[in-house]
Amino acid sequence: MLEGWFLWFILFWVVFLVSMLAIGGYFMFRKFLQRLPKEDGKSDLDWQDYYLEKTRHMWNDDEKNLLEELVEPVPELFRDVARAKIAGKVGQLALKEQASSINLDLIIRGYIMATPKRDHKFLMKRLTEKQIDYSEYKALF
């Protein structure tokens, strides 16, 4: 018969495994939804890759370094995804505005548009540390 601590041990592992499977399934399902083609025949990730490829030549080392600093608080496991999402949004803005190169303004606006609101506090903190005025972007926060 199952008694006392062994029963609790089994119950803990059942709850733990079901929780981990649910969390993993959630993230896999989100990725699956991003890969589904939209009305235009391309998915969100296809468009992101398109913007990255079209604007790859527009990035200078300073802008790349700033992007690296901005994705620094993201856990390393998800950092590449965050970097690609932000860079894709910056590329989209650059192509839309027909910019000749990626600049600070595009990076800040792209970061704000590509990230959830909870990440904007870190952006403001990092810009303050670098003594960059972000007052003109307050409306986007």
DSSP 64-118: HHHHHHHTTTS-HHHHHHHHHHHHHHHHHHHHHTT-SS--HHHHHHHHHHHS-GG
Q: For 129, which DSSP code?
A: H
- What is the mean pLDDT of the segment spanning 22-43? 86
Quick one: pLDDT band at residue 1, thresholds 50, 70, 90?
Answer: low
Percentage above 70 pLDDT, the chain? 99
The pLDDT of residue 138 is 78
The Cα 138–Cα 141 span in angstroms is 5
Is the pLDDT reported for residue 2 higher than 70?
no
Tens of pLDDT, residues 55-103:
999 999 999 998 998 888 888 988 898 999 999 999 999 999 998 899 8
